[in-house]
Amino acid sequence: MSVTEFAEANFSRATAAGLDAHEYRRVTAGLASLDDWPDAFVRAGRRHLDLARTAASAVSAGEHHRTAARWFHFAALVPHPDRALAALAAAEADAAMGRALEVLEPEARRIEGPGFTGRLRGPADAAATVVIVPGMDSGKEEFHAVADTFLRRGAAVFAMDGPGQGALAATTVVRPDYHRVVGDVIDALGVEGIGLVGLSLGGYYAAESAALEPRVRAAVTVSGPFRLDWDALPAFVHDTLTQRAGGAGPARDFARHVDLTDLAPRIAVPLLVVDGGRDAIPGVVNGEPLARLAPRGEYLLVPYADHLLGEAHPDWLPAAADWLMARAG
């Protein structure tokens, strides 16, 4: 895939995460190859750190730090041969988001445990606790719009990085039994139950957890795979999963475990499966079978939307948030 094709394929994802569309176009237009992607996005993030240092108000500084975190996060989107670049970008994203929340939401708390890290935001007397699970190449700095939608509805929101994700990608590898990580998260949060939102591969993690972790009260999957076929997956997914799993053999074995055929009937809690009608990744079976096989599954298809439905937030995000809040409180 050329750098132009890759940039266009990720345009809706990047803008949905809060990157300015015009700035994204300027940054990606100057790239000669995908190898240049990480450095260009890191430079864009550092430009916002410079703007934060010269900002006239604490609010402006916090907003620039938050924007910088988004740029740093997307710097790690390409499976670059030099993994140190991705590790540096993820660390800078984590640090920038921390500085943003110190100013904009000083009540936010960092919570860590075995195999996870993240920040808890929202009121102490929250109507529900919602955990946001990222996907194969995403992390806790990406899904701001999702988190903010739940915060406006009175939820406490824990956006996390798990094994092989975000700030932990350089030191851990992906694992299919993600429900054990979710269980550790619930223990650390000290709550009786949670609502779970999983995006992309995080949708598989959310469904797997809903089947096997009894403290999940309801779950939403967004562009989550029902099943993966390693041999049919495109090269980009192979390369990314190979990095996140620690090798081609472990990546192939991980992909073999991503199959909800047997687990879907065991999901006893309410489950909302959200798909985009234009989400067609070779080797990935979308979520309709999951909604059909889960006893309390519901299906929401947005026909014109792509993977992660970033260009279609009004068509699913408010409704999904209302749905989950009504069941997870």
pLDDT of residue 81: 59
- Selection from 306, 299, 293 nearest residue 273 by Cα: 299
Q: Which pLDDT band holds residue 228 (cuts at 50, 70, 90)?
A: very high
Helix axes 313-328, 144-151, angle to 10 degrees: 50
CB 74 within 8 A of CB 27: no
pLDDT of residue 85: 72
- Whole-number Cα distances in Å, 92 to 13, 41, 143, 264: 20, 12, 17, 38
Q: How far apart are CA 80 and CA 37, in angstroms?
A: 9
What tens digit of pLDDT does each residue of 15-59 get?
999 999 999 999 999 899 988 999 999 999 999 999 999 999 999
Q: Which pLDDT band holds residue 226 (cuts at 50, 70, 90)?
A: very high
3-class DSSP state of 95: helix
| pLDDT tops 90 at residue 117 | yes
- Mean per-residue pLDDT, 130-155: 96
Residue with tokens 């949060």: 189
Q: How far apart are CA 2 and CA 21, in angstroms?
A: 20
Residue with tokens 């809060």: 18
3-class DSSP state of 229: coil
- Mean per-residue pLDDT, 76-88: 73
221-239 burial: b if 16+ Cβ within 10 Å, else e? bbbbbbbbebeebeebbbb
> What string of DSSP letters covers 270-302?
-EEEEEETT---TTEE-SHHHHHHSTTEEEEEE
Instruction: State the DSSP code for 140.
Output: T
Based on its alpha-carbon atoms, the radius of gyration of the chain, rounded to whole angstroms, reads 18
3-class DSSP state of 151: helix
Residue with tokens 């309709």: 288
Could you list the beta-strand ranges (E) of the chain.
109-113, 116-121, 129-133, 156-161, 194-199, 216-222, 227-228, 271-276, 284-285, 297-302
Give this prediction's pTM.
0.95
Structure token digits, residue 207: 């469904």
pLDDT of residue 163: 97
**Left (φ > 0), alpha (ψ -120 to 50) or beta: where does 289 sit?**
alpha
Angle in degrees, CA 317, 257, 81, rounded to 5 = 80
pLDDT of residue 79: 72
pLDDT of residue 78: 80
